[in-house]
Amino acid sequence: MKDSSSVNQLATTLRKELDRYSEGEKLPSSRALVTRHQVSPVTVSRAIAALAAEGLVTSRPGAGVFKAAARRHTGALGDVSWQEVALSADPPHAAIDAGPRGTDAAGVLATLTAPPPEVIDLNGGYLHAALQPERALAAALARAGRRPGTWSRPPVEGLAELRDWFARDIGGPAGPLDASDVLITAGGQGALTTALRALAAPGSAVLVESPTYPGMLAVARAAGLRPVPVPVDADGVRTDLLAEAFAATRARVFVCQPLFHNPTGAVLSAQRRPDVLAVARASGAFVVEDDFARRLAHADAPALPLPLAADDPDGVVVHVRSLTKAASPSLRIGALTARGPALERLRAIQVVDSFFVPRPLQETALELVGSPAWTRHLRVLSAALRERRTALLTALGSALPTLLPQQPPRGGYHLWLRLPDGTDEHAVTATALRHGVAVTAGGPYFTAEAPAPHLRLSYVSASGTAQLEEGVGRLHRALAENSALPA
């Protein structure tokens, strides 16, 4: 954290000093900057790189660093009104056959947009730097860089060793899966995009849990699909309603998160697990199992159920697994697992979209998961998640006891809070931001009108438990200002 702060401070200073330089004028040498600002050569190098990325300086090997020429506007914006027609004028049959092509990324951007430094982040979906295995990642990256062939082209399906690791991680050492059933993807979001595009025809219905992850809804709608909600309760998806939804829509895909569901935290009960597979099989449909939270179990979690894919010899389940949530937002490595002809369809879609996942990233992931540091990290992370969940629940119990969830999850990274009827959740989130805390409104997690107002609070993007406690205090003040607290 200190290194990052020093780089930012030096970059800010140099940015101001550039005003005194003419275009093309040479800046002081790195050695001179080290002496003048009392920083390390690495800090100078990174600050210069930041300025170069902004287009403010240019670096010429052997010559030095120079102030870049100012960017000059090339003229007024032309008439782009034609795009309004081009982006909307689908053929007459498109409304029936393909559905709307618009992409609503609001729900995704809400969790990707970093708030200002003074705002406590109870919104984000990725581990704070304090929770990431930075040393293990750096070591894995260094080892990967020394592997022969790291910069050569990988197989389009992914490295065989990494595919084999995912197969064993998902199905167990003696499970039904092997490396030939796995495709390496660019993270979980990329896997979901490939799965929905491959398995459902444009214009068709896709069954989703209600509420559900907004990023999946965005993927479905961008593919021209119609998300149809199936309600979730404390035991996971309502399988009686799932059967009715398949019969009513003739859908061929159901997307679910059986473990630590986002946003409710529910775990699909043992009684319903076989029902999900039986209902889908009877309907001739696939189950896309988004197993995003398996490596986010808390230290006090009971034994985890196996993935649905581990109990499926018939190829009903298409499994999605990612390393990103448990490691780093930049380690965008995931896996799609399928059996039968569906795998070839998934492979074809992925190859057309992206060719392959960069080999250096795959090699880094392979080095990481094969090291003792990965097991240690998961153990430390598990304890930290329990500590943060407990701190957040304790703070809520003190300041906002009526909002406490009845069954706090023992996995994942968020709490799902039911607000009083009539509460304007969007007004609450806006007021909370003014008070210095970022939280997520529940509306984007529903495919249509939400049955009740909710907030989702994440506890992995804050710096620690003290910030979580302070964030709840700020949220309390925001709710009071919006008259959203029970009398």
Let me know whether 184 and 226 are in one domain: yes
- Helices 239-249 and 273-282 pack at an angle, to 10 degrees, of 10
pLDDT exceeds cutoff 70 at 109: no
Could you tell me which residue, 53 or 277, shows the higher pLDDT? 277
Same structural domain for residues 311 and 410? Answer: no
Mean pLDDT of 126-134: 94
Distance CA 210, CA 235 (A): 13
Q: At 379, phi and psi to the nearest 5?
A: -65, -45
- The tens digit of pLDDT for each residue in 7-44 reads 888 888 998 898 888 888 998 988 889 899 988 888 88
Q: Which residues pair with 321 in a beta bridge?
A: 335
Candidate from 12-16, 79-83, 131-135, 235-239 with smallest mean pLDDT: 79-83
Please identify which residue in the block is written with the tokens 């007024």: 76
Range in 146-155, 165-174, 295-304, 402-411 the model is least confident about: 165-174
pLDDT score recorded for residue 100: 47
Q: What pTM was computed for the model?
A: 0.79
pLDDT of 99 reads 45
pLDDT at position 384, please?
97
* Mean pLDDT score, 138-152: 92
Angle between helices 465-481 and 425-434 (to 10 degrees): 120
Quick one: 119 and 162 in the same domain? no
Does residue 391 lie within any of the structural domains? yes
Categorize the per-residue pLDDT at 94 as very low, low, confident or very high, splitting at 50, 70 and 90.
very low
For 401, the token pair is 């006891």
Last residue of a domain, one of 67, 89, 123: 67
Q: How confident is the model at residue 93 (pLDDT cuts 50, 70, 90)?
A: very low
Looking at residue 204, its amino acid is S
Sign (positive or negative) of CA dihedral 347, 353, 355, 356: negative
pLDDT in the model for residue 104: 62
Burial class (CB in 10 A: 0-12, 13-18, 19+), 23: exposed
Strand-pair partners of 417 = 455
428, 476: one domain: yes
Ranges 138-147, 166-175, 395-404, 437-446: which has the least confidence: 166-175
Strand, coil or helix: 467: helix
Which amino acid, residue 145?
A: G
What's the CATH number where 424 sits?
A: 3.90.1150.10
Of 67, 96, 122, the position where a domain reaches its end is: 67
Q: 55 is in which domain, residue-wise? A: 2-67
Task: Return mean pLDDT, the chain.
Answer: 87
Place of tokens 């064993």: 168
Residues 49 and 113 in one domain: no
pLDDT in tens, 421-437: 989 999 999 999 999 99
pLDDT score for 83: 45
Task: Note whether 250 and 210 are same-domain residues.
Answer: yes
Strand order in the sheet with 182-185: 182-185, 334-337, 317-322, 286-290, 253-256, 205-210, 226-233, 236-237
Number of domain units in the chain? 3
**Predicted pLDDT at 42:** 83
Total Cβ atoms within 10 A of residue 349:
19
pLDDT in tens, 251-302: 999 999 999 999 999 999 999 999 999 999 989 889 999 999 999 999 999 9
- Token pair 């030095």 is found at 64
Q: Do 222 and 293 share a domain, yes or no?
A: yes
> What pLDDT shows up at residue 399?
93
Q: Is the pLDDT of residue 331 over 60?
A: yes
* 382 pLDDT higher than 50: yes
Looking at residues 114-133, what average pLDDT do you find? Answer: 89
Q: Point out the domain boundary residue: 345, 371, 397.
A: 371
Residues 61 and 154 in one domain: no
Do 17 and 161 lie in a common domain?
no
CA dist 427 and 226 (Å) reads 29
More confident: 313 or 442: 442
Render 67-118 in DSSP notation, one character per residue.
EPPPP---------THHHHHTT---TTHHHHT-------HHHHHHHSPPPTT
pLDDT at 61: 72
**What integer is the mean pLDDT of 187-200?**
91
Residue with structure tokens 């029936």? 96
Q: What angle do CA 216, 186, 349 make, to 5 degrees?
A: 75
Q: Does one domain contain both 334 and 204? A: yes
Please report, for residues 214, 296, 336, the alpha-carbon distance to residue 162 in angstroms, rounded to integers and kept in the order given: 29, 20, 12
Q: Are residues 443 and 430 in the same domain?
A: yes
CA angle 147-150-154, nearest 5°? 135
Tell me what percent of the residues of the chain surpass a pLDDT of 90: 59
Candidates 103, 100, 123; CA nearest to 113 is: 123
What whole-number distance in Å separates Cα of residue 435 and Cα of residue 424? 17
More confident residue, 112 or 300: 300
